[in-house]
Amino acid sequence: MGIWQSLLLTGAGAVIAGMATWLGTRLQFREAARIREEQYRREDQYRLHQARVGAYSSLYSAAGKMRAALTWEDAPSEARRQARNSYWQETAKVSLIGNDDVRASAKAVLAYVDAILGGSEQFDSTRFGDLVRRLEADARLSLVGSDDS
């Protein structure tokens, strides 16, 4: 009877070891999948951040060019319109990847410029500067999480 007991215990040990191996492998796969998903998420966030940096920088640059076109006394209306259209293109990029506050600030600048070009408002350097500073602060807050201006 000792041999049967020994075989039974050996068989039970093999089953337990097999189950433990299966469970350990399953847990390793699950953890590897979780780590992979986390890595993909971080890479996506990094790419979005880089895209936002580029879009916000281009938008800020376009705002500066638009200011120059609006303040130039003898600027042809076509130059002003081109500056506005360049800014609109950058605003479209920000509308796709920017956060809500930056989108709103960019659109506020655009609405003000449209009112100027439409003749319903006169260019006010202080107001334009305030709108651009708000845009800059919102962009900084979006990118670094604080507005240390």
> Is there a contact between 84 and 107 (Cβ–Cβ < 8 Å)?
no
Q: Where in the sequence is the domain holding 44, given as residue range(s)?
A: 2-144
Please state, in angstroms and rounded to a whole number, the distance separating the CA atoms of residues 58 and 145: 20
Q: Is residue 115 part of a domain?
A: yes
Closest CA to 95 of 108, 79, 112: 108
Q: Is residue 111 part of a domain?
A: yes
The number of folded domains in the chain is 1
Q: What is the pLDDT of residues 75-122, one digit of tens each?
A: 788 888 999 999 999 999 999 999 999 999 999 999 999 999 888 989
Q: Look at residue 134 in the predicted model and tell me its pLDDT.
A: 96
Q: Is residue 134 part of a domain?
A: yes
Q: What is the pLDDT of residues 43-86, one digit of tens each?
A: 999 999 999 999 999 999 999 999 998 888 777 888 889 999 99
Please state, in angstroms and rounded to a whole number, the distance separating the CA atoms of residues 8 and 5: 5
Q: Please, what's the b/e burial string for 22-51 (b: 16 or more CB within 10 A of its CB; e: otherwise)?
A: eeeeeeeeeeeeeeeeeeeeeeeeeeeeee
Tokens of 144: 């670094």
Can you give the CATH number for the domain in which 64 is found? 1.20.120
- Torsion on CA atoms 62, 131, 95, 38, rounded to nearest 10: 100
Q: Is residue 149 part of a domain?
A: no
- The pTM of this model reads 0.75
